[in-house]
Structure 1
C-alpha cells in the first residue's frame, strides 16, 4: 500500500483554507508557520498534485486543492466521530462536547447549561463557540463542532434536530411611550420598530412569529446585538422585540423600558439542538437535550 497522507497535514490544509492566511492558520493549529507550510508541501508531494498556487505575496487554492479540502473535512469529521465513539463507549455522558450557539441565545442560556452539566454530568466538559447560524452550520458540517444550540426553524438538511423548548417574544418600549390598550402594528409610526441585522436569525423569527406584515414599520437601521437594541429603545428611538430569556437574564436592568405582549397568539421562537446524522453520540445529545428542556418553557406552559 502506498504511503497515505497524514491526518495532521490534512488538518493543516483545512485550517489554511478556513483562515486564508498562513500565519493565522499556523496559530489555529498551534504550530509554527514553517511547520504548517512544510506539512502542506509534503501533502502535495504525497498526492502528486498542486494544492495551492503561491507567489511571494499571496496564494490561492487550485481546483484539486478545493476538492481535497472538501474531502478532508469529511474525513477528519469521521475520524473525530470514531475517536469519540471509542472514548465514550462505556460512559456516554463523559468527554468533551464542542458546542456552538448563536449570539441571541448564548449570553442568556449557556451559563445555566454549563452549570447544569457540571452538576449532572461532572465527567463532561463543554467547549463553547458563539457565531451566526450560517457559520455554525458550516462548522458542524466540517466536523469543527459536535452540537449546535439554535433557534428553529433553520435549514438542517443532512442533520438531526431536537426541539428543547420555546422562547416567547415580547414587545419592549420606553415607559414614556406607553402602549395603551390593544397593540396594533398599523397604528405604530413608520420606521419605529428596530431589529437586528439580517444575519441574525432572530430578526426573521420575530417578524414571522409576531405576524408583522407591514415592512414600513421597520426601521432600516439594523443593530448588531440585543444590547444595542435595548440602548436604542431606552433612548426613545422606537420599540423592539426581545426574547423572554434575555429579559429573564436581566437585559433590561437599569433601563426605563417596559415589556408588553405583542399582538397575535403568544409569539415565540423554538429552541433546538442540531447534530450530524453520522454522529455516534445520539444518546449523549438526546440526554443533553432533555436536560436543557428543564431550563426552558414549552408550548404547553
Structure 2
C-alpha cells in the first residue's frame, strides 16, 4: 500500500498556500520555519511530486500543488467534521462553535440572540468573526468556521449548504421630509438611481439593494460610497443622497439619534434572506438547526421588529425634523 500524507502535513501545505510565505506560514502553524520546510519536503517525497517552487524571495505553487491544496482542504475539513460528529453526539451545543457573521447583520442580529444562547446553552462557547461574505465562505470551506450568518441571494461555492431563517425587507431612508414623512408607502419606481448611496463594492448588501430595485450598478452613485451602515446614514443625513437599509438595521437602532426618515415601499418592499451557511459535510447540521431556532425566537426577530420599523417608517427617528 502506498504511503499516505498526514493531516498535519496537509495543514502546513494549506497554511503556506494561504500565506505565500514560509515564515508567516510557520508562525501561523506555531512551528519553526525549518520544521515547516522539512514537513513539506517529506510530503513531496511521499507524493513523489513537486508542490512548491522555492527561492529566497518567492513561493510559487506548481499546477499540481494548487490541485493538491484544493483536495487537502476537503480532507482536513472532513477530518474535523468526523471529530465534531463524535463530540456533538456526546454533548450537543457545548464546547466551541466558530460563527462568521457579515457586518450588515452582526450588530443587529447578535445582541439578543447571544443573550438567549447564554441562558439556553451555558456550556456553548461561541467564537465570532465578522467579515465579508466571500471571506466567511472561504473560512467555512477551510474548516476555520463551523457556520456563517450571511444574506442571500449569493453565488455559493460548491460544498456549501444554507438554512434560510427569515426575509429582511429593505426600507427607503432619506433626510428629505417631502419624501420621507408621507404615511403611504413609496412606489419603488420613484427611486432616482443617481441619488442612491450604497456601501462600497465587496459588500453583498450593495448588490442585494441594486438587484432588489431592478437597477444596474452603473446607475447608482459610484462616486460616493460607504464602508459601513453608520457611515452611510451620516452621508444621507448630510444631504448627499438617499439609501436603502435592511429592516433589522433600522430595528436595531442604526437611525437612533439621527433625523432621518424610514419609509416602506409599495408593492411590498424588496428583501434579502438571512441564512446560516455551512459545509454540506458538517457533522453539526442539527446544532445549526437549533441555533437557527434560537435566532428566530430571540427578541430581534419577532413581530416586535416589524412593529418597531413600522412606527419608524411613519415618523423621523428624531423629533427635530429632517437635517438639511
- The two structures share one fold, judged by TM-score above 0.5: yes
Taking the aligned partners of 2:69 and 2:257, their CA distance within structure 1 comes to 49
Q: Where does residue 205 of structure 2 map in the other structure?
A: 202
What is the SS of the residue equivalent to 1:219? Answer: coil
Q: Where does residue 240 of structure 2 map in the other structure?
A: 237
Q: Where does residue 220 of structure 1 map in the other structure?
A: 222
In structure 2, the gaps of 5 or more residues are 307-324
Q: Where does residue 149 of structure 2 map in the other structure?
A: 149
In structure 1, the gaps of 5 or more residues are none
Q: Where does residue 174 of structure 1 map in the other structure?
A: 175
Q: Where does residue 79 of structure 2 map in the other structure?
A: 79
Q: Following TM superposition, where does structure 1 have runs of at least 4 consecutive aligned residues deviating by more than 4 angstroms?
A: 175-178, 184-190, 214-217
Give a deviation string over 1:44-88, Cα, whole Å, max 9, x none.
222222111011111100122112111110110011011101112
What is the SS of the residue equivalent to 2:255? Answer: coil
Taking the aligned partners of 1:121 and 1:45, their CA distance within structure 2 comes to 47
Q: Where does residue 257 of structure 2 map in the other structure?
A: 254
Q: Where does residue 273 of structure 1 map in the other structure?
A: 276
Taking the aligned partners of 2:249 and 2:288, their CA distance within structure 1 comes to 24
Is the CA contact (8 Å cut-off) linking 2:173 and 2:180 kept in structure 1?
Answer: no
Q: Tell me by how many angstroms 1:219 deviates.
A: 0.7
Taking the aligned partners of 2:15 and 2:87, their CA distance within structure 1 comes to 25
What is the SS of the residue equivalent to 2:4? Answer: coil
Taking the aligned partners of 1:98 and 1:64, their CA distance within structure 2 comes to 31
What is the SS of the residue equivalent to 1:205? Answer: helix
Q: In terms of mean alpha carbon deviation, does 194-203 or 229-238 score higher?
A: 194-203
Q: Which of the pair is proportionally richer in helix?
A: 2
Taking the aligned partners of 1:36 and 1:172, their CA distance within structure 2 comes to 53
Give a deviation string over 1:246-266, Cα, whole Å, max 9, x none.
222222233222222234313
Q: In terms of mean alpha carbon deviation, does 85-94 or 34-43 score higher?
A: 34-43
Q: Tell me by how many angstroms 1:179 deviates.
A: 3.0
Taking the aligned partners of 2:216 and 2:275, their CA distance within structure 1 comes to 29
What is the SS of the residue equivalent to 2:163? Answer: strand
After the TM superposition, which residues 1-301 of structure 1 pair with which residues of structure 2 at under 5 Å, given as runs?
Answer: 1=1, 3-156=3-156, 157-174=158-175, 178-179=179-180, 181=182, 183-184=186-187, 191-209=194-212, 211-213=213-215, 218-221=220-223, 222-295=225-298, 296-297=301-302
* Cα root mean square deviation, aligned: 2.4
What is the SS of the residue equivalent to 1:220? Answer: coil
Q: Tell me by how many angstroms 1:111 deviates.
A: 3.1
